[in-house]
Structure 1
Amino acid sequence: MQLQQEEPGLYIALISIHGLIRSKNLELGRDADTGGQTKYVVDLANALARQPNVAKVDLITRRVVDDKVHCDYSAAIEPLDADGARIVRIDCGPEQYLPKEQLWEHLDAFTDNLLDFFHEQDRMPDVVHSHYADAGYVATKISHLSGIPLIHTGHSLGRDKRKRLMASGMTSKNVEKRYNMGYRIEAEEQVLANASLVITSTRQEIEAQYELYDFYSPERMRVIPPGTDLSLFHPPELGEAPTQITSAVRRFLDEPDKPMILALSRPDPRKNIATLVQAYGESPELREMANLVIVAGNRDDIREMDNGAQEVMSELLVLIDYYDLYGKVAIPKKHLPSEVPAIYRMAANSRGVFINPALTEPFGLTLLEAAASGLPFVATENGGPLDIVENCEAGLLIDPLNARALGNAIKTLLLDGEMWRTFSANGIKNVALKYSWNAHARAYLKQIKPLVEAHVPQQISPEIVNASRLSDRLIVSDLDKTLLSNPTGLREFCQMLRERRKDVAFGIATGRRLDSVLKVLKKYRIPKPDILISSLGSQIHYGRELELSTDWEEHVDHDWNPRAIRRILRRVEGLTLQDESEQSKFKISFHVAPAYQDSLTRDKIMKLLRQEEQSVNVFLTAGQNLDITPARVSKGLALRYVASIWGIPLERVLVAAGAGSDEDMITGNTLSVIVSNRAHEPLSSGKQQEDHKIFYATQPNALGILEAIEHYHFFEEEAGAVCA
């Protein structure tokens, strides 16, 4: 990628939130979250930073401070191997280590903390690249606010995984309870609707997995297979000294020199290791000709593992006992990441076979590692292994739910010496030709080049900056349901504002248009706000004359096609456009007829618009008022835009609002109050987390805001400290 000499080089931000990520000795297989993705993003960061036109790569993940994990994961910054590459750890809810299914409720705070980090840097990233759905949720919000091009890699996809889990026997209810699949799929839909580029490892991902999504745009998807470190993964060498893992495996086996059937993965139900043990146990021929070696993460005590891993290990031990496989199966308790290449070479040296029987495998990096080591493989036919078999010609594919087919494929490779030698040689040659990290990084930069060149940094007019009265805190309230309806409270609140004008800026965020708001302000004698966010966040007005921010209008007018939206929704029975007075440049409003209020759900409208490739926000209030805005429009995004320009930390922003279109104002790092008359409105599931700054006032309307000011000690130096 050729850049002008005076340009500083690219700044790339990779976001991968869950799991345990560090520069050395990755704990691969420790749990369901610390698998191939963690290794992939570390290798990717190093490979990109080694390219000549890349100045900086930040691999951004979650900071963890927990006695149960290594202190490495608590460091805010950790250098990676390549110059210019580092791991950046951002606070995200509780400090202790959490599985990814429990992180959703903390991602708004992670987003706010990450934006703070970016603003502290010399410049914003040129691109943000999210890995997995949780990072996609965060990166989408950052892209909406900043305009930075968004790149996404799914690694695995919720809709496909749900289908596979249900095929294995889990009920839809249990899948949702265990994996929070609803959150995940909605985040995936959002990121697909807004990403400039989706990078996949295989063509199969695009054609069979992403095709399941409403916003399916294959023209924005590119296949760039990940690389393999050939300095680590290579065929056995003469005189290679045995390692500690060699002894750990051999001590399980009566005849350790037999060929090895090797499985290497974390102990996760989706990896389907039990079917492999079943296939081995039910085949006298396999038990006679080979040993089975299962390297399934590290453990001290199975009883202390997480539920999924404990379930898998317990089932494996039961199966080993049932089939009486003692002396034929090795399940070592521990191995070092640095020993993984030696494990492959040990299996290759025994003329064995590598097995990946996962229900679905997004890519199959272990297959490349095995093939580069000269070890033929048998792998699931679901996912990335299709491409790897086609490109490398080093293995066989099987239905992972068919134990007999799995056993027969293993026997074929073990018995057919010519096939084994051909597959072994093909793997060594073709992995080196087609799967290297340097080639991956070059292809990656070629794809992002037009996105970086087309991106125009967000403009901020001096007028809106100068409109700040240099206050170091801000109160923002919704209008109709929150501020009004209690004359006594409103009068006391307005008096407080007048007395505190030098201490605090005042803002209103509403779905109303400017003209309607001005009438309300005059009628109720409410002081003119310093900032007015109107039309659901599509317009920002500031200063004494409430000037319109044309910068914000230009920013939100991204992929906005109101004519197409009206055309699409005009065909929907039960929808009628509201009066012209309720419409604005970036808001289209409909009435939902009473007879259709149960059937015309927000999800149904969103699905229809996504299928027509319209990236928008959909707000449905009380089942009867439907508002459509651009994807970059929300009250919360507009609020953060203003707070950032005025230099007011979100921890000193008090927001009075409720559910629906207000909700993203009161999640994240803002101090928030829900007044008592709005307490009946349910927030999105998971938003009422214990550690989040939401105060439920006992008083209604403006009185509740005054109660929150006291609760948070809002005007004291350490705003946010709550009353005992």
Structure 2
Amino acid sequence: MKRTQRKASRGEGLYIVLVSVHGLIRGSDLELGRDADTGGQIKYVVELARALGAHPEVGRVDLLTRRIDDQRVDPAYAQAEETLAEGVRVIRLDCGPKRYLRKERLWPHLDCFADNAIKHIRHVGLRPDVVHGHYADAGYAAVRIANLLGAPLVQTGHSLGRVKQQRLMEKGASERDIESRYNMAQRIDAEEETLLNAYRVIASTQQEVESQYALYDHYRPERMEVIPPGTDLERFHPPPSRWRQPPIAAELKRFLRHPQRPIVMALSRPDERKNIPTLVRAFAEHGGLRELANLVIVAGNRDSVRSLDRGARKVLTEVFMLIDDYDLHGQVAYPKHHAADDVPDLYRLVTHTRGVFVNPALTEPFGLTLIEAGASGAPFVATADGGPKDILRHCQNGVLVDPLDSKAMSEAIYQILADDKRWKALSTAGLKGVRKHYSWRGHADTYVRKIKPLGAEARRVRRGQRKLSGKLVRADRALITDIDNTLLGDRQGLKRLLNELRSRGSGIAFGIATGRRLDSAVQILKEWGVPTPDLMITSVGAEIHYAAEMTEDPGWMTHINYRWRPEALREAILELPGIDLQPEEDQRRHKISFFVDPTYAPGLREIERLLRQQDLQANLIYSHDRFLDLLPLRASKGFAVRYFADKWGIELERVLVAGDSGNDEDMLRGRTLGVVVGNHAPELERLRGYKRVHFAKANYAGGIVEALEHYDFFNECRAPDQ
């Protein structure tokens, strides 16, 4: 039965949104190993998207990634959309500068990416059945996408920050150097936040769950699902009996004195975590191995080592120095270039020469290369960490070693090569095991079976457009401002702003977003002569009301009630020194407010960690160095602004938000137009340099007036590129 016929009988099917932000993603000729960001994860998400799209219960798959317009990379990465298969698309969204950026530099732009993703999904017109993030950066964006849409969040970490940090420190790297190179604290925070919000976490192995995810405060075993990754068995298979050696074989022969010898091959990015130098040392220091085999290192593509990033340059420089130190010339091949189509042939060359594939990585959550090698008939030696343990259990086609023990590594390789009968047994076992346990079709079947129940778990009141008359229906843009020390504080500046809105703002929705409760906000606005706003976001985003009657938005209240346990949160925070409850009138159904004495109270990170350890979920907002508000995960000024814009059909590029303190930060980031008034608190200085955040010279409402002119808000409403 054709796929289109199947779809007709089951409606639209599941709508799955995959998010993978960094690296270079396209449907063919994947540039695996080009750099540290274009590795196995890229291949994983592309093949996962195709496999899910072929499933009879799936109607549409969108793989959201970053659009890149840079002459240094292929023009294909600048295309807004690419079809991978029927119903499966790569959607490329703007995310910061157009040029290619390594993943550590993407963090300031991920809010913008999330806003663009929501815009795309709104244009599609379907509510996702799941939003699935891949890696920490995509998890950060996926939390924001899923929370606003009320969709279930699924996460795959691929590589985890705490594990990488631990391994690098074991190799002697300092915590300071790790932080400067990898933004590790921000990455780990994003991973914790994603685990907190995720309905399910998909891991490749049970060991990954128990030994890696267990290092996190928000580790919850009941939310973990182990679904081994698949491989394309049509591409990866043993060489036929009369196999003509491929072009890549000639490239390897250039390096080797005895090219007919068995190949010991490593295939990975030149990344420190991949531990390639240890393999070189293992090969070089074992006399029998050097007499018996050749070493082949396929470490990405390069025109020049000097053109690579610092990490890759360091790894390859060490490899070349070891080759020279041990005089391995003529015994080791290290080609500068290989195409995606060469990869299956490289595995087949290992099998054809009765060699061994080696994955010496310090940590290996997946082990896709081991599965590909097994499907091609090559035995393996790999790190005794993560995925290789499960692969060996299923396939029985290799040996696991401590990746830092070069002697154990070399001896394991030698024992396989020196015993022809054992080599044959391992090769045969691998072929059978991979076909049984590691197909993408089987992965997709399990995936769909696991995610289908999440829809009922996440179901909520739909946010249909209310048929109301008045300004909100007609508005095509909105001005939303904090009250204290932003809108109010200077009567002359306020008068100018109100006059501007009266004379030129007929199509503009005017709203406030404040930490005050509703009655307090209404009272202070009245005292200052501010007309009743069209929108009132109060209690730091915990409540939304509309128009003169202050009609509450019930959909928002239902939406943010997710995982909200106010009594347990209140009890946990009050056990800490230097923190007291604010008066009863400042407490709301979805907001718990505290006074903080920073002299005695623990820092915000310590408070967050305490709550994680007690499985308590909240959005913590700290402002003016004395106020702490706890809100539901889905509640904040930023989320409320986006909810409002989405509900009333106002483009975020036409929403001007104004603030002065830390509790305004998340509505200032992203695709909104932002203004930080001149009298702002120091904590907002970290937003300086964002193109869509204007730091006004004027204070209070005068700063808002300045921003109206800066963005030409009443006319073209200019939205600078992020």
TM range (shorter): over 0.9
Measure how far apart 1:249 and its partner are.
Answer: 0.6
- Quote the residue 1:421 is aligned against: 424
Measure how far apart 1:373 and its partner are.
Answer: 1.3
Distance verdict in 2 for CA 1:126–1:461, change over 3 Å: closer
* Counterparts of residues 589-628 of structure 1 (less than 5 Å): 589-593=593-597, 595-597=599-601, 600-628=602-630
Of 377, 381, 388 in structure 2, the residue corresponding to residue 378 of structure 1 is: 381
Of 208, 214, 217 in structure 2, the residue corresponding to residue 214 of structure 1 is: 217
- Quote the residue 2:289 is aligned against: 286
Q: Secondary structure at the match of 1:378?
A: strand
- Quote the residue 1:700 is aligned against: 699
TM-score, normalised to structure 1, is 0.96
TM-score, normalised to structure 2, is 0.96
CA RMSD of aligned residues (A): 1.7
Q: Secondary structure at the match of 2:277?
A: helix
Q: Secondary structure at the match of 2:77?
A: helix
Residue identity in the other structure for 2:667: M
- Quote the residue 1:511 is aligned against: 515
- Quote the residue 2:453 is aligned against: 450
Measure how far apart 1:635 and its partner are.
Answer: 0.3
Measure how far apart 1:672 and its partner are.
Answer: 0.9
**Separation in structure 1 between the aligned mates of residue 164 and residue 540 of structure 2, nearest angstrom:** 35
Does the 8 A contact of 1:90 with 1:110 survive in 2? yes
* Counterparts of residues 328-477 of structure 1 (less than 5 Å): 328-456=331-459, 458-460=461-463, 462-463=465-466, 466-467=469-470, 468-477=472-481
* Counterparts of residues 522-533 of structure 1 (less than 5 Å): 522-533=526-537
**Residue 36 in structure 1 maps to residue 35 in structure 2:** no
Residue identity in the other structure for 2:708: I
Residue identity in the other structure for 1:688: R
Q: Secondary structure at the match of 1:318?
A: helix
**Separation in structure 2 between the aligned mates of residue 6 and residue 425 of structure 1, nearest angstrom:** 41
Residue identity in the other structure for 2:487: L
Measure how far apart 1:560 and its partner are.
Answer: 0.7
- Quote the residue 2:3 is aligned against: none
Measure how far apart 1:593 and its partner are.
Answer: 3.9
Measure how far apart 1:161 and its partner are.
Answer: 0.7
Residue identity in the other structure for 1:27: E
- Quote the residue 1:67 is aligned against: 71
Q: Secondary structure at the match of 1:648?
A: coil
Of 553, 567, 574 in structure 2, the residue corresponding to residue 570 of structure 1 is: 574
Moved more, 16-25 or 640-649: 640-649
Q: String of CA shifts for 1:588-645, please: whole Å, max 9, x gaps.
A: 1122345413xx1111111111121122101222343221110000001111111122
Measure how far apart 1:124 and its partner are.
Answer: 2.4
**Separation in structure 2 between the aligned mates of residue 679 and residue 715 of structure 1, nearest angstrom:** 28
Q: String of CA shifts for 1:540-585, please: whole Å, max 9, x gaps.
A: 0101212111111111111111122123223333332221011001
Q: Secondary structure at the match of 1:29?
A: coil
Q: Secondary structure at the match of 2:635?
A: coil
**Residue 551 in structure 1 maps to residue 560 in structure 2:** no
Of 657, 672, 691 in structure 2, the residue corresponding to residue 670 of structure 1 is: 672
**Residue 714 in structure 1 maps to residue 713 in structure 2:** yes
- Quote the residue 1:26 is aligned against: 30
Q: String of CA shifts for 1:134-162, please: whole Å, max 9, x gaps.
A: 11011100111110111110001001111
Of 532, 539, 546 in structure 2, the residue corresponding to residue 535 of structure 1 is: 539
Q: Secondary structure at the match of 1:405?
A: helix
Does the 8 A contact of 2:68 with 2:100 survive in 1? yes
Of 473, 477, 498 in structure 1, the residue corresponding to residue 502 of structure 2 is: 498
Residue identity in the other structure for 2:194: V
**Residue 316 in structure 1 maps to residue 315 in structure 2:** no
Measure how far apart 1:277 and its partner are.
Answer: 0.7
Residue identity in the other structure for 2:174: T
- Quote the residue 2:50 is aligned against: 46
Q: String of CA shifts for 1:49-92, please: whole Å, max 9, x gaps.
A: 11111111111111111111111111111111x32111111111
Q: String of CA shifts for 1:73-118, please: whole Å, max 9, x gaps.
A: 11111111x3211111111111111111111111111111111111
**Separation in structure 2 between the aligned mates of residue 401 and residue 622 of structure 1, nearest angstrom:** 49
Moved over 6 A (4+): none
**Separation in structure 1 between the aligned mates of residue 122 and residue 213 of structure 2, nearest angstrom:** 33
Does the 8 A contact of 2:563 with 2:632 survive in 1? yes
**Separation in structure 2 between the aligned mates of residue 594 and residue 268 of structure 1, nearest angstrom:** 42
Of 246, 249, 255 in structure 2, the residue corresponding to residue 252 of structure 1 is: 255
Q: String of CA shifts for 1:300-338, please: whole Å, max 9, x gaps.
A: 122112222222222111111111111000011111111
Q: Secondary structure at the match of 1:641?
A: helix
Q: String of CA shifts for 1:656-697, please: whole Å, max 9, x gaps.
A: 11342110111111111111110633445xx4345x311111
**Residue 106 in structure 1 maps to residue 105 in structure 2:** no
- Quote the residue 2:136 is aligned against: 133
**Separation in structure 2 between the aligned mates of residue 206 and residue 393 of structure 1, nearest angstrom:** 21
Of 651, 656, 659 in structure 1, the residue corresponding to residue 658 of structure 2 is: 656
Measure how far apart 1:419 and its partner are.
Answer: 2.4
Moved more, 670-679 or 413-422: 413-422
Distance verdict in 2 for CA 1:491–1:602, change over 3 Å: same
* Counterparts of residues 141-180 of structure 1 (less than 5 Å): 141-180=144-183
Q: String of CA shifts for 1:176-200, please: whole Å, max 9, x gaps.
A: 1111111111111111001111100
Measure how far apart 1:369 and its partner are.
Answer: 0.8
Does the 8 A contact of 1:533 with 1:540 survive in 2? yes
Does the 8 A contact of 2:267 with 2:299 survive in 1? yes
Q: Secondary structure at the match of 1:267?
A: coil
- Quote the residue 1:583 is aligned against: 587
Does the 8 A contact of 1:16 with 1:132 survive in 2? yes
Distance verdict in 2 for CA 1:309–1:605, change over 3 Å: same
Does the 8 A contact of 2:7 with 2:59 survive in 1? no
Residue identity in the other structure for 2:355: G
Moved more, 310-319 or 60-69: 310-319
Residue identity in the other structure for 2:615: E
**Separation in structure 1 between the aligned mates of residue 473 and residue 20 of structure 2, nearest angstrom:** 38
Q: Secondary structure at the match of 1:229?
A: coil
**Residue 630 in structure 1 maps to residue 629 in structure 2:** no
Does the 8 A contact of 2:622 with 2:629 survive in 1? yes
Distance verdict in 2 for CA 1:458–1:165, change over 3 Å: farther
Of 86, 91, 99 in structure 1, the residue corresponding to residue 89 of structure 2 is: 86
**Separation in structure 2 between the aligned mates of residue 614 and residue 87 of structure 1, nearest angstrom:** 36
Residue identity in the other structure for 1:316: V
Q: Secondary structure at the match of 1:424?
A: helix
**Separation in structure 1 between the aligned mates of residue 717 and residue 483 of structure 2, nearest angstrom:** 27
Does the 8 A contact of 1:381 with 1:398 survive in 2? yes
Does the 8 A contact of 2:505 with 2:714 survive in 1? no
**Separation in structure 2 between the aligned mates of residue 672 and residue 578 of structure 1, nearest angstrom:** 30
**Separation in structure 2 between the aligned mates of residue 504 and residue 682 of structure 1, nearest angstrom:** 26
Moved more, 18-27 or 622-631: 622-631
Does the 8 A contact of 2:481 with 2:513 survive in 1? yes
Distance verdict in 2 for CA 1:188–1:595, change over 3 Å: same
**Separation in structure 1 between the aligned mates of residue 103 and residue 649 of structure 2, nearest angstrom:** 32
- Quote the residue 2:18 is aligned against: 14
**Separation in structure 2 between the aligned mates of residue 715 and residue 331 of structure 1, nearest angstrom:** 60
Q: Secondary structure at the match of 1:79?
A: strand
Q: Secondary structure at the match of 1:642?
A: helix
**Separation in structure 2 between the aligned mates of residue 201 and residue 4 of structure 1, nearest angstrom:** 33
**Separation in structure 2 between the aligned mates of residue 422 and residue 660 of structure 1, nearest angstrom:** 63
Does the 8 A contact of 1:147 with 1:458 survive in 2? no
**Separation in structure 1 between the aligned mates of residue 332 and residue 467 of structure 2, nearest angstrom:** 70
